[in-house]
């Protein structure tokens, strides 16, 4: 409530709104929000003042350890997952999903796009007995993901496959070193490579070859599947085997990148409903991406 009132007040004052929406203003906002979700807020704020190596923190609610690369998209993802963005947790399941999962104290989770383990630690904070299998192809993210698992001594319940997910097994070119924005490579990435290498926080940006796993050949008989793979979702969503996916609940971030149709949101909704995911709740919707929950209604 307080956060909403503050946002409305800022929006009414044009100059103040412009300052808050500027890059420096957003850095301050993201820093303040992120500091609230860890148990070491002063250190968090101090390290946000300058580029820093990955720093470890304990989440305020669960006490689980995480690692963040300051002044990167890691902080935005932290806020998105743990409720710092507008006071709302983007991955809080809708009521219908929460009720369905409530009867299972140890849900099985498939995490497509494990990144640095923030979604995984959210899951384990909410369902401490959950079992997670993450897929993450980017070596820079994978190193931190494995550190998170080891630091929390979760090797028995949290496994990782160092590969990208797709609708086929083999290899793919992958734009690596872009933090949460690493993705299936395209011709455009080749044209932008020099720019990315010089951009702040993207010194390691490069195109590499990574293995791919056919998600339909993996064990997808899970209680919840999360998919955030930066445009790599389209070969999966358009595959006719989607109707046979055994995960009854999906939380999906769709992207305009790679979409075979002009309207990525409409394509996502239609493909999910055709595959039997008739329950749907949209959390965020933008021009380039959006987040939604989808489930098969009984």
CATH of the domain at 290: 3.40.50.150
Looking only at the bridges linking them, the beta strands covering 108-112 and 131-135 are parallel
Predicted confidence at residue 52, as pLDDT, reads 73
For the chain, list residues with pLDDT below 70.
Answer: 1-21, 84-88, 186-204
236 found inside a domain: yes
Predicted confidence at residue 32, as pLDDT, reads 92
Q: Which residue range(s) make up the domain with 74? A: 56-295
Q: CA 158, CA 125: separation in Å to the nearest integer?
A: 13
47 found inside a domain: no
11 found inside a domain: no
Predicted confidence at residue 196, as pLDDT, reads 44
- Cα-atom radius of gyration of the chain, to the nearest Å? 19
Backbone φ and ψ of 160, nearest 5°:
-135, 135
Residue 286's contacts (CB-CB under 8 Å, 6 or more residues apart) are none
19 found inside a domain: no
Three-state secondary structure call for residue 284: strand
108 found inside a domain: yes
Q: List, for residues 258-285, the tens digit of each pLDDT value.
A: 999 999 999 999 999 999 999 999 999 8
Predicted confidence at residue 88, as pLDDT, reads 65
How many helices and strands, by DSSP H and E, does the chain display? Answer: 11, 13
Predicted confidence at residue 8, as pLDDT, reads 56
What's the total number of domains in the chain?
Answer: 1
CA 140 to mean position of chain CA atoms: 15
99 found inside a domain: yes
Predicted confidence at residue 19, as pLDDT, reads 53
14 found inside a domain: no
Q: List, for residues 169-191, the tens digit of each pLDDT value.
A: 999 998 888 887 888 886 555 54
Q: CA 239, CA 219: separation in Å to the nearest integer?
A: 17
15 found inside a domain: no
Predicted confidence at residue 85, as pLDDT, reads 57
Is the Cβ–Cβ distance between 56 and 63 less than 8 Å?
no
Could you tell me where the beta strands, DSSP code E, fall in 60-130? 65-68, 108-112
């Amino acid at each position: 409530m307080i956060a909403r009132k503050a946002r409305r007040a800022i929006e009414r004052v044009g100059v103040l709104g412009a300052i808050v929406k500027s890059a420096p203003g957003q850095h301050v906002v993201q820093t303040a929000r992120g500091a609230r979700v860890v148990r070491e807020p002063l250190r968090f704020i101090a390290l946000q003042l300058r580029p820093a190596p990955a720093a470890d923190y304990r989440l305020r609610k669960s006490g689980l350890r995480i690692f963040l690369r300051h002044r990167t998209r890691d902080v935005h993802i932290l806020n998105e997952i743990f409720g710092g963005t507008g006071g709302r947790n983007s991955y809080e399941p809708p009521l219908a999903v929460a009720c369905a999962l409530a009867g299972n104290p140890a849900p099985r989770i498939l995490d497509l796009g494990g990144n640095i383990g923030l979604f995984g630690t959210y899951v384990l904070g909410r369902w401490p007995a959950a079992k997670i299998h993450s897929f993450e192809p980017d070596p820079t993210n994978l190193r931190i993901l494995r550190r998170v698992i080891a630091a929390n001594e979760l090797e028995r319940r949290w496994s990782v496959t160092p590969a990208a997910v797709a609708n086929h097994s083999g290899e793919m070119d992958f734009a690596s070193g872009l933090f949460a924005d690493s993705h299936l490579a395209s011709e455009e990435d080749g044209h932008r490579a020099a720019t990315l290498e010089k951009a702040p926080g993207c010194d390691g940006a490069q195109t590499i070859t990574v293995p791919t796993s056919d998600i339909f050949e993996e064990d997808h008989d899970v209680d919840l599947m999360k998919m955030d793979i930066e445009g790599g979702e389209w070969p999966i969503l358009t595959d006719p085997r989607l109707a046979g996916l055994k995960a009854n609940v999906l939380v999906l971030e769709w992207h305009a990148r790679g979409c075979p149709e002009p309207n990525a949101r409409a394509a996502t909704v239609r493909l999910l409903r055709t595959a039997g995911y008739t329950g749907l709740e949209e959390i965020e919707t933008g021009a380039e991406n959006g987040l939604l929950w989808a489930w098969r209604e009984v």
